[in-house]
């Protein structure tokens, strides 16, 4: 009878007990909205009360003989709750806190519920026993379930590992991880391609076998020199699977894991870059060479011009100006004429050294005669000249004779055209 | 219509393709090797580099009597006489001269000790110095470079092209292909003035295709092969009229480790030490159940029956033969124990039966008795009495395709409808079926691929040349 009253009363106080429980959970900093769901509480409360009910109804005689097994039976609903909580990600300490607080809240109310309950102490002890056996089972179960949980977690970290692995494999640069024995322990796809090796062949290989000797010893030196987290670059020559060599840039970083040193190498095949660099270098050199040539040419042109100017200036000073003064001073026309002739000669001589010479005799030619000369110079035959100038053959022959005379070629064997070839008309 | 033209076009850059290229290039002026993967070498370069030869220098040194006939009879015994005998005979007959070719011509370096692999009557197996097929593939690649043979990577054979007379005329490829995306790359056609050689290897990684041939090989069964060992080139050949041979004969390797992917480093440990010098036990009983030196088929059948969980155990004496030991220990594939007790506890094996097994095995060796499973007990075999003890956990993995397309002794591919060679079409290596019958003996694939690769290369380059386009 008293038991009925006790249970009944406690059930009636559920809401109060819930509030008390909430307060204490909050006070201990354990409040978590996901886990303080009222429905869950109701179910768990009912479970504890059911266990209590069972404890209270036990005949007195069996009280000391209560086996752990019986306790377990009573605790079963609570253990179910534990599983449920565990599945929803509740951690063990929190779960135990939840029930310890709940049971303690109930215990506190029990004396007030049925003040004169004779076996109160005993019932409470039994309840504690049930709670303890529940706790034991739950803790043990939690641990037994742990592999599962860690498996799940491992799966999680497994997937992120996989993700990292996928990224590692697909990065567009070669990555190698080397251990203290110089053995390559990881390699990504790009590294395989750079060296022409399958993954099975590159992993386990000695890093030094992928490089030419000088590069290999440089790398080994870097390995011993750099501190954890430090980074070094090296330009090395690497070996492709068929023995071909190629230039590469390697970035070495050291990272320590579990007390062992590892070096990660980022390898870049510089074949293309080197080819481009070489092309650029070649182009630059060509341009420089061209500049140099241009400069020399300009310089020599400049030099020539200056020489020319100097020569002209000197001539003007030494010959022309005195001539002019003399003409100025001469009163007689005949004298003037002779000076003018000299002056003319001097002027013409200024052009000496030119490829084509200005022949002073050419100045004696008439306009028609000069025209004839131009045509002859250009390679025209006598007939061509007749046609071009609309003159008769005889007239042209006369012009030719006069020209030869004026140029001082009369009686000479020299061909008129050959003579004219290097002369300016 | 054609984008490029070569005298001989070879597809596949493994043992067979490279051997063919080197021979062909001696007789013609332009050879190209097409390879779909981003790196050359296929299964060949990740193989164990074990090379069986009947009548070798090392055998002579060790006074081991051997002959091509003995090798052939071993092949037929393991192959349950499914072998195309004429092809098998050529492999056995030319094994020794081909081994010499790799040493004297290519400069391949081998260890100075022979191995005795399961199913072989005598020790006849050479092993490359670096315990890998790369020890042979590399010098071949160097030779190709020296001979001006381009190896075009990321180039996928999409189709074989037959001309109006029914002869092979060229290939349709996808250039800049990215495995395994069939849509990647750009389609192109390459013409062969003399011949096409198919050397595309096996299809062990093609889970769909292998399950069609042998439904017991479900998806979850692991594989030792490189990722590119798929069936599409075989299908191309069948479309071109080739004859399929024994496609369902797919070998599992009994020596692979449970604790690493693929062939790894453990397989060679079992092959070179665990099986010949140690014992294979079922963890559930602690007992032996098979002749450790049986051929692969018998071993796998025994290991797979009634859910056995197999480990191989070897002691300090036997482990000297394991060239990959250090890496095995480093990667946790092989574990080392001071006593059989510790080994039993760590592997959750029943101790007393295991001790009894070791004792009775040792007694057989010490007293020179016959082993009840029929394991050959050579004179240099030591009892397992020298700690520490090493063990490897085993699981069978798909390893080799005995089946493939049919060729004649000239390596010409045979048409299925006419039973006559398809003109200007050769094949060599694992893509060819019939040489090994129901089961390939360990270390027999390398001689097969090299022997027939060279035959195919020489014959292809001797075909009359078509006129240029
Ligand atoms: C892990 C392992 C270890 C082994 N160890 C040994 C050993 O020690 N001794 C021994 O004798 N045998 C061994 N074998 C068997 C032997 O290595 C193979 O049978 C042999 O390498 C096959 O050579 P192959 O040239 O025929 O083919 P592969 O070497 O496989 O070369 C074929 C090439 O063709 C390419 N290819 C395929 N399809 C196409 C396509 N559509 N387009 C373009 N290219 C294509 C592939 O990517 C591949 O690179 C081993 C096998 C494996 C897997």
- What's the confidence (pLDDT) of residue A37? 78
pLDDT at B204: 98
Asked if the model's pLDDT at residue A230 lies above 60, the reply is yes
- B 128-187: CB under 8 A from A: 132, 134, 137-138, 141-142, 144-145, 151
* Cis peptide bond prior to B388, omega within 30° of 0: yes
Contact present, B412 and B425 (Cβ < 8 Å): yes
Count of beta carbons in the 10 Å neighbourhood of residue A295: 10
Return the SS3 of B172: strand
Q: Spelled out in words, what is the top-level CATH class assigned to the domain B4-204+401-460?
A: alpha beta
pLDDT at A152: 46
- C-alpha B159 to ligand 1 mean position (Å): 20
Which comes out higher in pLDDT, residue A324 or B240? Answer: B240
Choice between B372 and A348, residue whose per-residue pLDDT is larger: B372
Q: With b meaning 16 or more CB within 10 Å and e meaning fewer, what string describes B72-81?
A: bebbbbbbee
Query: What pLDDT is recorded for position A133?
Result: 74
Q: How many CA atoms lie within 13 A of B15 on its CB side?
A: 32
Is B288 in CB contact (< 8 Å) with chain A?
no
Which H or E run includes A102?
A: helix A92-113
Q: Are B47 and B449 in contact (CB under 8 A)?
A: no
Beta bridge partners of B446: none
3.90.700.10, 1.10.10.10, 3.40.50.1820, 3.30.300.180: CATH of B255-395 = 3.90.700.10
CB neighbour list of residue B168: distance below 8 Å, 6 or more residues apart: B160, B161, B162, B192, B195, B196, B240, B422, B423, B424, B425
Mean pLDDT of A362-386: 84
Q: What is the secondary structure of B312-335 as a DSSP string?
A: EEEETTGGGG-TTHHHHHHTTSEE
In chain A, the percentage of residues whose pLDDT exceeds 90 is: 21
pLDDT reported for residue A153: 46
DSSP B181: B
Residue pair B425/B411 in contact by the 8 Å Cβ criterion: no
Confidence of residue A43 (pLDDT cuts 50, 70, 90): confident
DSSP β-bridge partners for residue B31? B8
In whole angstroms, how large is the CA radius of gyration of chain A?
58
Cα separations in angstroms, B21 against B29, B152, B198, B257, B457: 11, 13, 11, 35, 6
| Contact residues on chain A for B152, CB-CB shorter than 8 A | none
Q: Is the CB of B133 under 6 A from ligand 1?
A: yes
Q: How confident is the model at residue A151 (pLDDT cuts 50, 70, 90)?
A: very low
Structure tokens at A213: 């000797």
The Cα–Cα gap between B33 and B17 comes to: 7
Tens-digit pLDDT profile for residues A53-68: 877 776 654 444 455 5
Q: Which residues does chain B have with pLDDT short of 50? A: none
Q: Which residue in the set A200, A243, A244 is minimally distant from B46, CB to CB?
A: A200
Distance CA A359, CA A150 (A): 111
Does any ligand 1 atom lie closer than 6 A to the CB of residue B37? Answer: yes
- CA A59, A64, A67, A72 torsion: positive or negative? positive
b/e for A167-178, b at 16 or more Cβ within 10 A? ebbeeeebbbbb
DSSP letter, residue A262? E
Gyration radius (Cα) of chain B, Å: 23
Tokens at residue A19, please?
Answer: 């509030």
Cβ-in-10-Å burial (0-12, 13-18, 19+) of B408 comes to middle
Residue nearest to atom 52 of ligand 1 (CA): B47
- Structural domain boundaries of chain A? 2-155, 161-269, 318-421
A242/B134 Cβ within 8 A: no
Of A193, A243, A244, the CB nearest to B38: A193
Contact indicator for A202, A187 with CB cutoff of 8 Å: yes
Considering the four listed CATH numbers 1.10.10.10, 3.40.630.30, 3.40.1440.10, 1.20.120.1200, the one that applies to the domain covering A318-421 is: 1.10.10.10
How far apart (Å, rounded) are the C-alpha atoms in residues B430 and B43? 10
The mean per-residue pLDDT over the stretch A7-21 comes to 88
* Predicted local confidence at residue B218, as pLDDT: 94
| Residue-wise pLDDT tens digits, B259-284 | 999 999 999 999 999 999 999 999 99
Average pLDDT over residues A360-382: 83
**Measuring CA to CA, which residue among A227, A231, A228, A226 is closest to residue A249?**
A231
Q: Does B45 touch chain A (CB under 8 A)?
A: yes
Q: State yes or no: pLDDT of A351 exceeds 70.
A: no
In a mutational test of the B interface, the residue from A190, A196, A203, A239 whose CB has the highest number of chain B CBs within 10 Å is A196
Contact call for B132 and A189, based on CB within 8 A: no
CA angle B48–B49–B52, rounded 5-degree value: 115
Whether B461 contacts chain A with CB within 8 A: no
- Chain A residue with Cα closest to B327: A204
Highest mean pLDDT of the ranges A101-110, A274-283, B281-290: B281-290
Confidence (pLDDT) at A358: 63
- Closest-CA distance of chain A to residue B139, Å: 7
Q: Does 3.40.50.2000 match the CATH number of domain A161-269?
A: no
The bridge status of strand B125-127 relative to strand B50-52 is antiparallel
In chain B, whose CA is at the least distance from the CA of A199? B46
Instruction: Judge whether residue A33 has pLDDT over 70.
Output: no
Beta bridge partners of B412: B426
Which residue's structure tokens are 């790799």?
B102
In sequence order, the 6+-apart residues with CB closer than 8 A to the CB of B74 are: B119, B120, B121, B441
User: What confidence tens digit (pLDDT) does each residue in A120-144 have?
Assistant: 777 777 777 777 777 777 776 665 5
Q: Under a CB-based contact definition with an 8 Å cutoff, are residues B441 and B7 in contact?
A: no
CA-to-CA distance for B115 and B375, rounded, in angstroms? 16
Distance between terminal CA atoms of chain B? 10
Residue A34 has pLDDT above 80, yes or no: no
What CA–CA distance (Å, rounded) separates A312 from A351? Answer: 9
Give the H/E segment covering residue A299: helix A271-315
ipTM of the complex: 0.91
Q: Which two tokens stand for residue A147?
A: 């592999």
State how far the Cα of A340 lies from the Cα of B51, in Å rounded to an integer: 110
A347 Cβ neighbours under 8 A, 6+ residues apart: A320
A283 band by pLDDT with thresholds 50, 70 and 90: confident
State the residue for tokens 């030619």: A365
| Substitution target from B21, B39, B47, B256 for chain A, most A beta carbons within 10 A | B39
């Amino acid at each position: 009878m008293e038991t009925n009253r006790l249970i009944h009363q406690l059930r009636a106080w559920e809401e109060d007990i819930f509030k008390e429980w909430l307060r204490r959970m909050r006070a201990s900093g354990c409040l978590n909205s996901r886990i303080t769901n009222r429905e869950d509480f109701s179910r768990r409360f009912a479970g504890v009360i059911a266990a209590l009910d069972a404890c209270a109804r036990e005949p007195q005689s069996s009280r000391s003989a209560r086996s752990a097994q019986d306790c377990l039976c009573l605790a079963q609903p609570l253990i179910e709750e534990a599983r449920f909580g565990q599945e929803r990600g509740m951690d063990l300490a929190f779960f135990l806190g939840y029930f310890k607080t709940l049971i303690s809240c109930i215990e506190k109310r029990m004396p007030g519920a049925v003040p004169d309950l004779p076996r109160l102490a005993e019932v409470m002890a039994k309840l504690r026993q049930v709670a303890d056996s529940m706790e034991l089972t739950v803790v043990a179960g939690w641990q037994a379930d742990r592999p599962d949980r860690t498996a799940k977690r491992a799966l999680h970290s497994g997937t992120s590992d996989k993700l990292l692995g996928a990224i590692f494999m697909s990065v567009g640069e070669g990555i190698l991880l080397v251990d203290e024995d110089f053995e390559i322990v990881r390699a990504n796809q790009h590294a395989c391609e750079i060296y022409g090796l399958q993954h099975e062949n590159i992993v386990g290989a000695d890093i030094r076998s992928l490089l030419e000797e000088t590069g290999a010893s440089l790398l080994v030196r870097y390995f011993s020199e750099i501190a954890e987290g430090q980074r070094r670059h090296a330009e090395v020559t690497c070996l492709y699977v068929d023995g071909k060599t190629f230039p590469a840039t390697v970035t070495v970083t050291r990272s320590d894991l579990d007390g062992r040193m590892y070096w990660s190498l980022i390898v870049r095949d510089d074949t293309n870059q080197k080819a481009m660099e070489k092309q650029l270098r070649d182009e630059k050199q060509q341009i420089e060479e061209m500049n140099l040539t241009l400069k020399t040419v300009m310089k020599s042109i400049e030099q020539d011009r200056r020489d020319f100017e100097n020569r002209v200036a000197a001539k003007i000073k030494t010959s022309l100006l005195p001539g002019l003064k003399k003409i100025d001073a001469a009163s007689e026309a005949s004298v003037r004429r002779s000076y003018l002739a000299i002056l003319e000669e001097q002027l013409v001589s200024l052009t000496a050294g030119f490829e084509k010479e200005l022949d002073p005799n050419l100045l004696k030619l008439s306009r028609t005669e000069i025209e004839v000369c131009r045509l002859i110079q250009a390679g025209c035959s006598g007939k061509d000249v007749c046609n071009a100038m609309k003159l008769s053959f005889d007239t042209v022959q006369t012009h030719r004779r006069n020209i030869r005379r004026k140029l001082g070629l009369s009686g000479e064997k020299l061909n008129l055209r050959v003579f004219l070839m290097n002369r300016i008309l | 219509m054609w984008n490029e033209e070569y005298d001989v076009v070879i597809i596949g850059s493994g043992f067979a393709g490279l051997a063919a290229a080197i021979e062909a290039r001696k007789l013609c002026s332009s050879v190209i090797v097409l390879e779909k993967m981003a790196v050359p070498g296929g299964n060949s370069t990740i193989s164990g580099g074990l090379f069986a030869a009947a009548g070798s220098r090392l055998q002579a040194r060790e006074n081991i009597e051997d002959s091509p006939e003995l090798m052939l009879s071993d092949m037929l015994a393991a192959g349950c006489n499914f072998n195309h005998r004429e092809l098998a005979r050529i492999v056995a007959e030319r094994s020794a001269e081909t081994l010499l070719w790799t040493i004297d011509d290519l400069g391949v370096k081998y260890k100075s000790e022979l191995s005795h692999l399961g199913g072989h009557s005598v020790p006849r197996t050479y092993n490359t110095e670096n315990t890998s097929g790369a020890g042979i593939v590399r010098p071949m690649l160097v030779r190709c470079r020296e001979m001006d043979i381009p190896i075009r990577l990321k180039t996928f054979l999409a189709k074989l092209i037959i001309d109006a007379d029914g002869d092979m005329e060229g290939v349709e490829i996808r250039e800049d292909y990215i495995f395994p995306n069939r849509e990647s790359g750009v389609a192109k056609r390459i013409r062969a003035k003399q011949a096409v050689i198919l050397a595309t290897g096996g299809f062990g990684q093609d889970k769909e295709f292998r399950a069609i041939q042998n439904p017991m090989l479900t998806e979850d069964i692991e594989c030792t092969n490189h990722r590119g060992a798929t069936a599409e080139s075989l299908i191309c050949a069948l479309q071109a009229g080739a004859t399929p041979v024994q496609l369902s004969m797919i070998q599992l390797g009994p020596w692979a480790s449970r604790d690493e992917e693929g062939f790894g480093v453990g397989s060679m440990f079992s092959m070179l030490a665990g099986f010949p010098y140690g014992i294979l036990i079922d963890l559930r009983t602690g007992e032996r159940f098979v002749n450790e030196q049986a051929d692969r088929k018998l071993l796998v059948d025994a290991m797979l029956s009634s859910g056995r969980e197999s480990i191989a155990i070897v002691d300090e004496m036997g482990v000297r033969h394991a060239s990959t030991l250090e890496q095995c220990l480093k990667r946790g594939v092989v574990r080392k124990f001071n006593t059989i007790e510790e080994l039993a506890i760590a592997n959750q094996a029943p101790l007393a039966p295991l001790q009894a097994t070791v004792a009775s095995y040792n007694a057989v060796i010490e007293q020179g008795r016959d082993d009840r499973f029929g394991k050959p007990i050579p004179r240099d075999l030591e009892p397992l009495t020298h700690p520490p003890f090493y063990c490897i956990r085993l699981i069978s993995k798909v390893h080799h395709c005995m089946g493939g397309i049919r060729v004649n002794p000239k390596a010409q591919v045979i048409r299925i409808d006419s039973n006559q060679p398809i003109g200007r079409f050769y094949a060599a290596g694992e893509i060819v079926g019939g040489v090994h019958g129901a089961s390939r003996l360990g270390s027999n694939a390398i001689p097969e691929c090299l022997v027939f690769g060279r035959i195919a290369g020489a014959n292809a380059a001797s075909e009359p040349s078509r006129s240029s386009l």
